[in-house]
A and B are shown apart, each in its own frame.
Chain A
Amino acid sequence: MDNKMMSGAQIVIETLIEQGVTDVFGYPGGQVLNIYDELYKASDRINHYLTAHEQGASHAADGYARATGKVGVVIATSGPGATNLVTGIATAMLDSIPMVAITGNVPTSLIGKDSFQEINITGITLPITKHNYFVTDVRELADTIREAFQLAKSGRPGPVLVDVPKDVQVALCEFEKQGIVAPFPNKKVSDWRIEKAIEMINNSQRPYFYIGGGAVAANVGREIMELAEKCDAYMGCTLMGLSATPTDHERFLGMEGMHGHFASTMANSKADLIIGIGVRFSDRATGNTSTYCKDAKIIQLDCDRSEINKNINVDLALVGDLKYSLSEILKGVKSRNLPQWDAQVKECLAKEQAIADRAAALAGDRLTPAQVFDIINELKSEDSVVATDVGQHQMWSAQYLRFDKPRKFASSGGLGTMGYGLGAALGAQVASGERSILITGDGSFGMNLNELATATSYNIPTTIVLMNNGVLGMVRQWQTLFYGKRYSNTILDRKTDFVKLADAFGLQGERVSTAEDFRAAFARSLKADGPYLIEVAIDADEFVLPIVPPGGSMSDLITSKEDAAK
């Protein structure tokens, strides 16, 4: 193979292509002009999506990664371009999403001199990347980008940033094409740990699988289901664990935690064995850690050793390849029936149904979030990725949405980034080729609605369900419950006409306030050619229930507004 002399900028693009990248998101600027010049020349081999703002590009790369498991790529210029990526990179870090961010920087001779649009982005992103690089020698550029991809997808995935000064982009170097780098393999857990886990599961009377984002990343939904069926366990998940297993599986109880399902949260607290898979026992999922499952044994499976005993002390840790561990455990566990456990959980499920029925009866003619999601579940394709923003609509999405396949839910779980959703929905659509759905609220949507321009420019088929209650609902809910109804800065009362806004950006939009109208509008959106916005009027006093009060235990779950008022 003949090695050609290439500029650093060309090496950046050739290395991305070499690593299997077909789509990148970004925004040009002074210090990435050379890279954009090479993108132009390579436009038949790599697509670039120009967003309205670098933050949108970073969320799009994130959504792309969540939908596929591939590494999402974002490019931005130095200074403000780079700092605009920060929220997107942090979002990916907290949710362990593989991403490579490439930033330009001023020439090395101008570094450290407060030059125009110079910022130390490696310093800024130190705490929010798995690793980052400042490339000073063009001869190290290709290998650095390869290593960035390898790190991003190895072990617990995450974002990696490569900062390339302008003179390195200009400098010439030989380039030899290589293959796609493989992630470092996760180690296999010792036999004695597998045996101990099998023994603990076989001895358990009330086993419960608690599924997190790590299960999505490791694609072990099938193994977990088989295991749950074999040992008669029930399953629940964290926000990040949604879609790892099909939501309609009879042993799947839904998301648990602060706004979790009644049945899964109760089953978790009643279990005598918790098997946590790719979870970090986040405060949102455990509530008060001193009372969390204090009578249960806990097994934790993760590929990141630092998660063991970080938030919760566990009885057995299986650190390594999840697929291997679960397959080995599956071979060893006894096939059992646990009728008592079944009865206990069925009781919780019946209670959950009663709570839902009562809420529906109290709602009267009002359009409720439950109805909105029933219609979405009924009409959406099982291949559609649903992205959300952050707030009440996000928790309703997590509670009500149904998924048959993994990687169909994109939501900012760890960082809780309002404004995440639109970019993510666009990225997920580009990745999957299927219409994506964005569930958002008027607060979150207001943060990054500029990306409507991206949606229309590329005519990206995405259905935006904007649940408009005129308030910052989640914060307002807390103010109602815990701050004496002092609604400090949560009543938006903005004059935005979202239908006109959609029109101005060049997409179709409509406003609905009844279930029938929503059904018709949603069906229309699925047949539309490009993006489509549906504004749904939601009552400002609608609550996300259940709720575990801050600092409370999972058993302190409040299930109705009347109980909450006490």
Chain B
Amino acid sequence: MKKFVIGVYVENKYGVLARISGMIMRKAFNIDSIASGMTNDDAFSRITITLRGEDYHCDQLIQQLKKLHNVKSVDVLNKDDCVEREMMLIKVKNSPYNRTEVMAAAEIYRGKIFDYSVDSLCVEVTGEPAKINAFIDIMKPLGILEIVRTGTVAMERSRVLADPTEDTPHSKI
């Protein structure tokens, strides 16, 4: 199984997220995450979908997305030129031992401790999903109380995403 990161521009219209998530459900695509947020244009949101599957699934997901009326463009992000980020807020038990462990880990992972109370410590960590998972593994023995993750957002470094319309003999089929 391969992993694909797909960037989607959608119109901010009634039910657009339900249209996309519903289509993913009924066509039985296997996704790891879906993250949506505003863009520089109020009329559009950018959605990042991470998909697990074969090339066939990726092609089908793209084509099915393109059929949705509110979807304006769909792109598969080039893995070699792509920055993937996810943010996590994690709450762990506070204790004299935990305190030093969490602070050390947070420093190494460039996390931020944003809340400190008698019972708990809250850390904000940003990075690739693998880094987030690694941080969770370190926190596990300390007693995780709560986790919130945003899901992956991604952007290509150089290319500005737009609908590729060029059709040449080198196109796959």
Chain A positions within 8 Å of B, measured between CB atoms, are 122-123, 126-127, 130-131, 133-134, 151, 190, 192-193, 304-306, 308-310, 314-317
> For the complex, would chain A's binding face be called helix, strand, loop or mixed by DSSP majority?
mixed
Task: Report A144 CB to chain B, min CB distance, Å.
Answer: 11
Given contacts A192-B169, A306-B64, A306-B66, contact A123 B18 (CB under 8 A): yes
Given A133-B14, A315-B173, A317-B173: A306 touches B63 (CB 8 Å cut-off): yes
Q: Which of B14, B22, B68, B168 has the most CB of A within 10 A?
A: B14
CB-CB under 8 A from B18, the residues of chain A are: 123, 126
User: Measured between alpha carbons, how far is A306 from B71 in the docked complex, in Å?
Assistant: 14
B19 in the interface, Cβ–Cβ < 8 Å? Answer: yes
Could you mark each residue 116-140 of chain B with 1 if its beta carbon is under 8 Å from any beta carbon of chain A, else 0? 0000000000000000000000000
Question: Interface digits, B1-31 against A, CB 8 Å rule (1 contact, 0 not)?
Answer: 0000000000000110011001100100000
Known contacts A305-B63, A306-B63, A310-B60; is-contact A122 B15 (Cβ 8 Å) = yes
Contact of B114 with A by CB under 8 A: no
Whether A314 pairs with B173 at a CB distance below 8 angstroms is yes
Query: Which of B14, B67, B169 is the one whose CB lies under 8 Å from A134?
Result: B14
**Does B59 touch A at the CB level, under 8 Å?**
yes
Closest 3 CB pairs of A and B: A306-B63, A131-B69, A190-B167
B98–chain A nearest beta-carbon distance, Å: 44
CA distance A315 to B172 in the complex (A): 10
Residues of B34-77 contacting chain A, CB below 8 A: 56, 59-60, 63-64, 66-70
Contact assessment for A126 and B66 in the assembled complex, using a CB-CB cutoff below 8 Å: no
Say whether A127 contacts B69, CB under 8 Å. no
Inter-chain contact B173/A151, CB cutoff 8 Å: no
Q: Which of A122, A127, A133, A316 contacts B173 (CB 8 A)?
A: A316
> Contacts A126-B22, A130-B69: A309 and B173 contacting too (C-beta < 8 A)?
yes
In the assembled complex, the CB of B166 is this many whole angstroms from the nearest CB of chain A, namely: 10
- A306 and B19 in contact, given A134-B14, A192-B169, A316-B173 (Cβ under 8 angstroms): no
Asked if A306 contacts B67 (CB within 8 A), the reply is yes
> Which residue of chain A has its CB nearest to the CB of B21?
A126
The docked-state distance in angstroms from the alpha carbon of A310 to that of B167 is 20
User: Which chain A residues border B173 with CB–CB below 8 Å?
Assistant: 308-309, 314-317
Q: A345 CA to B68 CA in the complex, in Å?
A: 42
**CB contact between A151 and one of B22, B60, B64, B69 (< 8 Å): that residue:** B69
